[in-house]
Structure 1
Amino acid sequence: MPHLVILYTATLDRPADQGGADMTALCRALADAMVEQRDETGKAVFPVGGVRVLAYPAAHHAVSDGGAAGRAAGGDGVYDFVYLNLRMARGRSAAVHRQVGEALTTCARSHFAPLLATRHIGITLQVDEGAEVFDAKTSTLHPLFQPPAGTTPKA
């Protein structure tokens, strides 16, 4: 944990010159934004080895009125949607929740700025903090980010 899952209309998988977006670049930018987050004491909000950003195109979707209002407004009637859901473990302050949400929203808006200026697209970010009923983890990633014994961890 934390895991950020992105669901999006598959029309965004087109090349940028055809109205699409580089979703791999978005995933990297969001992961970097998550790694950069610090709490009120300056400690990393998320363990680097736990950060995951996964994006899935929806092969089938229906958005809003199907494009009628977009066509009436002079557009092509194609609507896109991006839903980002960050799930994190409990224990962070409300201020950290807000800070992380704002950082991820800013990152997503920046990434989609060209499309927001020319297309009909909706972007939603939801941050969930959950009480786990079962939580098992197996990872050989975390040791990569632990400092050797007797050294000071990187910030």
Structure 2
Amino acid sequence: MPHLVILYTPNLEGSTNLDALCRSLADAMLAVRDEDGQQVFPTGGTRVLAFPAAHYAVADGKNDYGFMYLNLRMGAGRSDAVKKQSGDTVLATVQRHFAPIFEKSLIGITVQVDESPGQVYDAKHSTLHPLFHPAVIPAQTGIQGIKPEGGSSGFPPPRE
């Protein structure tokens, strides 16, 4: 984690580049630092997924209103300040991305941050994390020809 899941009205697709928004959001989340200046989210666990709503109704339906819902889910153990900073970062990134569109379109944006304390079940399997941990020997990645990033990654062990 973190996983940022985005649901949006399909009428937004023609007015903006959602692939670019997803990349901007991932980069912004990777830039979040805790009170000690450490990277909050592990590079290999950061995901941004965006899905258009097949069916939707927004407000009174009298106009072609747009809407985007962003749910940032993170593992437990982060401070309230980091949770707020993470949400503020996501919102600011979306606001920057949509700034030119806000002037000509009516769009609602909602950002929610959830953490997962006391989950009933949480399992993970990933061949991505080893690529971003400098202490991992290349053979440990299990994928031939793929080597971890060089140098210090600048982030703490994953808190998943």
Q: TM exceeds 0.5?
A: yes
Task: Tell me if the contact between 2:6 and 2:68 (Cα under 8 Å) persists in the aligned partners.
Answer: yes
Deviations 1:107-145 (A, max 9, x none): 000001111111110000000012211111100000000
Distance 2:76 2:98 in 1: 30
Q: Distance in 2 between matches of 1:47 and 1:85?
A: 18
TM-score normalised by length of structure 1: 0.87
Task: Determine which of 25, 45, 53 is the counterpart of 1:30.
Answer: 25
The TM-score with structure 2 as length reference comes to 0.84
Q: Are positions 1:91 and 2:77 aligned together?
A: yes
Helix, strand or coil: the match of 1:46? coil
Give the one of 107, 126, 131 matched to 1:144.
Answer: 131
Aligned partners of 2:87 and 2:132: how far apart in 1?
24
Number of residue-to-residue matches in the alignment: 141
Question: 1 CA distance for matches of 2:101 and 2:46?
Answer: 27
Matching residue of 1:6:
6
Displacement of 1:149 in angstroms is: 6.0
Which residue matches 1:70? none
Structure 2: gaps of 5 or more residues:
138-149, 155-160
Q: Does 1:61 align with 2:49?
A: no
Q: Which residue of 1 aligns with 2:111?
A: 125
CA RMSD of superposed structures (Å): 1.6
Structure having the higher strand fraction is 1
Give the counterpart letter for 2:96 in structure 1: S
Q: Distance in 2 between matches of 1:152 and 1:62?
A: 49
Note if contact 2:130-2:136 (Cα within 8 Å) is conserved in structure 1. no
Hey, which of these two has a bigger chunk of helix by percent? 1
Identity of aligned residues (%): 56
SS in 2 for 1:118: coil
